[in-house]
């Protein structure tokens, strides 16, 4: 075990550290976090719509559904202003976060990234009526601003900002001798770099359309985004990402943050597709999405450490470990696991390496195949991370009671995996060492 930990520390940890320090990846992660209110608001609109539909069609609560009908109309409006424009908000947030990281004009960065994205999506809409298809020119299809435009927003938002910041740092600005207010001075400083970036992106798109006859955004969607998302539905890909996140977490890194650009780009995009399908009353397209990790494996936070807390209560004979479990229980219920991760500790503790890595992998594998077999609904609603386990899967799977059963089974499985290692920790950890662990600040 010590050899394995040493090997991971020598070869895997440096890679994780370097990834965590790449400024573009950090900005992309922060951009996804920034648009979380949009994601949650849109998902709440889906939950309200589903609740009213279930009340009317399955429970026969016609009066209840009639009373809440205005709320349904409000939810539809909220959806159109939030989730259906997800890629637009992501492009602006990415430009802002990049400008913040590279110390440029943040508002200009957001605007340039947004403009770069808008120039890269198709400006025509195809309408079908009576079996005939009609193309309307100089119009945007709103679906391009939602799930289908995420990769385009990331690529062209980044490229547009990169050109802008290079010119900005090179001081390609219009010199002004007059003393202007700060806002006007900042706008003039960004004027020439912004124009160069926007015209450069326009030129790239023009040459691509001239050479291929299609828009770059459409090509990117069908050539890269769709294959990547489909690859993310493979069992091996799901398990590999789970493994990497757990290994990074064992060394004290937030594995989910390190891999957020990959996880969010692939599985959050798939989740957004499912949310859109649920909004339209259609069958979700993807079986495994971003929220599936949270609701079926990461009970109490990344690593599923709520199972460890329960195992400490049930099997540990050490008063100091049980005290830590008492302190960590309340935060763990709301998926905050720093008290147990650093207080026990789990980080860099060889005794807990195997269950910390294996328990989430087993939970993910079990849940994946249960979902594939159709025994539980796929996740189709984004649920806030602080929603307690058991309730979270019920909401995320659009009021599917079977998700509660699956999450409880997973929790029991995880506790059983942790159990022998809790017994082992009781026997091999000296009292003095455990007291030192308990005094670790977190």
In order, the DSSP letters of 167-185 are: HHHTT------S---HHHH
Token pair listed for 132:
């005939």
pTM of this prediction exceeds 0.85: no
Same domain (yes/no): 287, 376: yes
The full DSSP string for 172-230 is: ------S---HHHHHHHHHHHHHHHHHHHHHHHHHHHHHHHSS-HHHHHIIIIIHHHHH
Instruction: Give the residue with greater pLDDT, 420 vs 436.
Output: 420
Kindly tell me if the per-residue pLDDT of 211 is higher than 60. yes
Q: What is the pLDDT of residue 431?
A: 45
Confidence of residue 441 (pLDDT cuts 50, 70, 90): very low
Q: Would the pLDDT of 440 be above 70?
A: no
Count of domains in the chain? 2
Share of the chain above pLDDT 90, in %: 27
Are 196 and 77 within one domain? yes
Residue 207 CA from chain centroid, whole number: 34
The domain boundary residue, chosen from 223, 250, 281: 223
Cβ proximity of 42 and 79 under 8 Å: yes
Burial class of residue 282 (count of CB atoms within 10 Å of its CB; 0-12, 13-18, 19+): exposed
Boundary of a domain, candidates 223, 258, 280: 223
Average pLDDT over residues 244-263: 80
176, 196, 223 - which closes a domain: 223
Same structural domain, 294 and 216: no
Residues 65 and 162 in one domain: yes
What digits encode the pLDDT tens for the residues 90-139? 999 999 999 999 988 899 999 999 999 998 887 777 666 666 777 777 77
Residues 148 and 67 in one domain: yes
CA distances in angstroms from 247 to 26, 53, 255, 325, 360, listed in the order given = 19, 42, 8, 22, 11
Cα–Cα dist 235/232, whole Å: 8
| Rounded average pLDDT over 405-422 | 93
By residue range, what is the domain housing residue 163? 24-223
Question: Distance from CA of residue 328 to its chain's centroid?
Answer: 25
Which residues fall within 8 angstroms of residue 305, CB to CB, at 6 or more apart? 299, 328, 332, 337, 340, 341, 346, 356
| Average pLDDT of span 349-359 | 87
Q: Residue 440: exposed, middle, or buried by beta-carbon count in 10 A (0-12, 13-18, 19+)?
A: exposed
Residue 145 pLDDT grade (very low, low, confident, very high; cuts 50, 70, 90):
confident
**Residue that is written with structure tokens 């993910």 in the block:** 364
Spatial separation of the C-alpha atoms in residues 29 and 95, rounded to whole Å: 12
> Rounded to whole angstroms, how far apart are CA atoms 275 and 45?
10
- Residue 304 · residue 359 · CB < 8 Å: yes
**pLDDT band, residue 57 (cuts 50/70/90):** low
Assigned domain for 11 exists? no
For residues 189 and 335, give the distance between their C-alpha atoms in angstroms, rounded to a whole number: 45
Q: What is the residue-averaged pLDDT of the chain?
A: 83
Residues 202 and 337 in one domain: no
Six token digits for residue 84: 């259906």
């Amino acid at each position: 075990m010590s050899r394995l930990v040493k090997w991971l520390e020598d070869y895997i940890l440096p890679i994780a550290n370097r990834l965590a320090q790449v400024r573009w990846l950090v900005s992309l992660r922060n951009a996804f976090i920034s648009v979380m209110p949009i994601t949650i608001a849109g998902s709440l609109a889906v939950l309200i719509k589903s609740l009213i539909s279930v009340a009317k069609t399955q429970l026969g609560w016609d009066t209840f559904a009639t009373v809440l009908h205005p709320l349904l109309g409000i939810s539809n409006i909220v959806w159109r202003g939030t989730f259906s424009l997800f890629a637009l908000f992501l492009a602006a947030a990415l430009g802002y976060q990049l400008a913040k990281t590279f110390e440029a004009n943040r508002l200009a960065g957001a605007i340039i990234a947004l403009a770069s994205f808008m120039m890269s999506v198709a400006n025509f809409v195809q309408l079908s009526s009576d079996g005939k298809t009609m193309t309307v020119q100089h119009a945007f299809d709103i679906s391009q601003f939602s799930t289908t435009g995420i990769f385009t927003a990331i690529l062209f938002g980044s490229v547009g900002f990169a050109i802008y910041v290079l010119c900005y740092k090179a001081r390609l600005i219009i010199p002004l001798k007059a003393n202007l207010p700060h806002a006007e001075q900042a706008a003039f400083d960004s004027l020439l770099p912004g124009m160069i970036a926007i015209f450069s992106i326009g030129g790239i798109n023009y040459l691509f359309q001239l050479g291929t006859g299609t828009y770059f955004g459409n090509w990117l969607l069908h050539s890269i985004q769709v294959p990547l998302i489909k690859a993310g539905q493979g069992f091996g890909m799901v398990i590999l990402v789970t493994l990497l996140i757990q290994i990074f977490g064992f060394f004290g890194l937030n594995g989910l943050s390190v891999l957020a650009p990959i996880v969010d780009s692939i599985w959050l995009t798939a989740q957004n597709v499912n949310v859109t399908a649920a909004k339209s009353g259609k069958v979700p397209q993807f079986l495994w999405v971003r929220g599936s990790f949270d609701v079926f494996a990461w009970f109490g936070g990344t690593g599923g450490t709520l199972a460890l807390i329960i195992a400490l209560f049930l099997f540990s004979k050490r008063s100091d470990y049980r005290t830590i479990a008492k302190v960590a229980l309340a935060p763990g219920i709301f998926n905050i696991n720093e008290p147990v991760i650093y207080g026990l500790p789990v980080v860099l503790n060889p005794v807990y390496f195997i269950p910390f890595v294996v328990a989430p992998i087993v939970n993910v594998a079990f849940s994946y195949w249960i979902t594939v077999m159709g025994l539980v609904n796929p996740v189709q609603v984004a649920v806030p991370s602080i929603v307690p386990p058991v309730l979270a899967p019920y909401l995320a799977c659009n009021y599917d009671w079977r998700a509660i059963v699956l999450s409880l089974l997973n929790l029991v499985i995880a506790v059983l995996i942790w159990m022998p290692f809790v017994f082992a920790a009781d026997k091999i950890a000296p009292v003095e060492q455990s007291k030192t662990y308990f005094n670790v600040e977190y």
